[in-house]
Amino acid sequence: MSPMKKQYFGTDGIRGEVGQFPIVPEFMTRLGYAAGKVLSKDAKAGQRCKVLIGKDTRISGYLLESALEAGFTAAGVDIMLCGPMPTPGVAYLTKALGLSAGVVISASHNPYQDNGIKFFSANGDKLDDEFELAIEAELEKPMGCVSAHELGKAFRLDDAAVRYIEFCKSTFPEDLNLKGLKLVVDCANGAAYHTAPHVFHDLGAEVISIGISPDGKNINDGCGATAPAALIAKVKEVNADLGIALDGDADRLQMVDGSGRLFNGDELLYVLAKDRLDRGQKLGGVIGTLMTNLAVENAIKEMGMGFERANVGDRYVLELLKQKGWIIGGEGSGHLLCLDQHSTGDGTIAALQVLAAMSQNKKSLAQLLEKVTIFPQVLLNVKFKSGYNWKSDEKLKQQIAKVEADLEGIGRVLIRASGTEPLLRIMIETQDGDVAMSAAKSIADLVPIA
C-alpha cells in the first residue's frame, strides 16, 4: 500500500479529549465496526474473530468500552472484556489466548480528561500503518450490522490479572528473588494498581504501594512516572531501598534509590544493556531515540555495542529494533523494550530486569551507573507565529549551524517542530548546563513568537 496520511491515527493510536471528536461514543462505535470488518477480511474461512478489550482507570473507559463493544459485535466479532489492565498486559493476553487483536482504551500518561484507543496484533505487537489505513478506509463507508445469527458475543475474562501477574514473574530469573528488599511501588492510580504490587510482593519484596486508589479522575494526578516527587518522598519517609513508578497504563518506568535519586529511562536503558552484555548475551546494539542522552550513547559504544537513534516514540524504537534484529531499546520517558521478554514496552517487566541486574551484580543502581554521567539537557518549547517556516529562516539556520559547530564532539543540537501544535522544540545537550541554556536561548530568541 502506498504511503498515505492518516486522518485519525497518530503515533500511538487515536487520542484526544473525551467529548471532543473523535473521542465520542458515535465515532467509537463506528471504529469498533470498522476494525471488526478489517479483521474479518483477514480471518480464515469459517473462523470467527475474537478481540480482547482492556482499559486503564479513567471514568470515560466505561463509555468507550461499551461503544467499541457495540461496534465489534455489530461486525460479527466476539469480544473479551478484561477491565483495567496495563497496556502490555493486553498485548500479552492477546497473544497468549490466540486472539485476532487486542484493544487498549487509554491515554497513557495524560490527565483523566483525555482518552484514546490503540490496537495490538495477534502477536502482541502494535498494529502497523497498513492496518490503521485499512480501518480509516472502512470508516469512510456507512456503518452496517450483520444479521442476528452472525452477531458477535461478549465474554468477561475474569482471571486476566492473575494471568498477567504470573507472566511478569516468569521474566525474573528463577534462581533469584527479592527477599530483603523494601520497595515503594507507585501505580499512578492507573491500570497496574491491582497487578504490579502483587508481582514484586510474590517475588519476596516488602512492598509499600501508593497510587493504588483510582477513582476515575485521579490517574497520573501528582503521582506515577510523570510526577515522581510523590515516590521520592515516600521512599525517604519509609526508608525504602528503591522506588518504582509506572504511568497510567504501566508501559513507562522511572526508578528512585534510597537517597531519593531519580533514574530515568536513558539510565535504565544502559543498565539493561550492560547486564545482558555481562551475561554473555549477543546484543548487536541498542536503540535509543533522538532525545536519548549523549552520555548513554557514548557509554554503550564504549562497551563495543552499536547504538542507533529512532524518532521519539516507543513505536519507532520497536520498528528499528525489528529492522536491526536487536532486542534492547527505549527512551528517557521510561518506555523500555526488552524483546527477549515481551513484544512491547512494559514498566513492570523492565523494573524486574533492572532488579535482576542489581541482584546478579550485587550493586546499587548508582554503582551500576558510576561510569555514566548524564549530560545536562535543556529543552525549550517556543510557540511560533502561524505560517512560520523555521526551515527557511536563514538567520535561524545560521545560528543553529554556529551552535552545532561550537558543540561539535562535546554536545548535541536537536531542533524539531511539534507534530500537533505550532511549537518549535529546541534541545541542547552538553556537559556544561549553563552553556546548554545559553545556546538554546540564542536559537529561541530568533523565533518569531505567537
What fold does the segment set 14-160 form as a domain? Alpha-D-Glucose-1,6-Bisphosphate; Chain A, domain 3 (3.40.120)
Nearest to 87 by CA among 278, 342, 300, 284: 342
**3-state SS class at 15:** strand
**Which residues of the chain fall short of a pLDDT of 50?**
1-2
pLDDT of residue 10: 87
CATH class of 264-346+358-368: alpha beta
Pairing relation of β-strands 50-55 and 101-105? parallel
Nearest to 210 by CA among 199, 335, 228, 202: 228
What fold does the segment set 377-444 form as a domain? TATA-Binding Protein (3.30.310)
pLDDT digits (tens, 9 = 90+) for 348-404: 999 999 999 999 999 999 999 999 999 999 999 999 998 899 999 999 999 999 999
Q: Residue ranges of the domains in the chain?
A: 14-160, 180-262, 264-346+358-368, 377-444
Q: Which residues are catalytic?
A: 108
What number of other Cβ atoms are within 10 A of residue 399's Cβ?
A: 17
Beta bridge partners of 338: 328
CA dihedral over 86, 92, 97, 98, signed as positive or negative: positive
CA dihedral over 438, 440, 445, 450, signed as positive or negative: negative
CATH class of 180-262: alpha beta
Beta bridge partners of 183: 207, 242
Fold: same for 180-262 and 377-444: no
d(CA 13, CA 139): 15
Contact yes or no for 90/54 (Cβ under 8 A) = yes
What residues contact residue 152 under an 8 Å CB cut-off, 6+ apart?
36, 48, 72, 73, 74, 75, 76, 77, 78, 79
pLDDT of residue 379: 94
Q: Report which DSSP code applies to 283.
A: -
pLDDT of residue 167: 98
Rg for the chain (alpha carbons), in Å?
A: 23
Q: What are the helix and strand counts (H, E) for the chain? A: 14, 18
E strands within 211-275?
242-246, 253-257, 262-263
Provide the H-helix boundaries in 43-86: 60-74
d(CA 179, CA 200): 10
d(CA 24, CA 43): 29
Distances (CA, A) of 54 to 149, 246, 342: 26, 17, 18
Which three cell numbers mark 352?
524486574
pLDDT of residue 3: 52
pLDDT of residue 424: 95
Contact yes or no for 15/107 (Cβ under 8 A) = yes
**3-state SS class at 190:** coil
Sheet with 50-55, edge to edge strand ranges: 14-17, 114-120, 101-105, 50-55, 78-84, 154-156
Pairing relation of β-strands 328-330 and 336-338? antiparallel
pLDDT digits (tens, 9 = 90+) for 174-195: 999 999 999 999 999 999 999 9
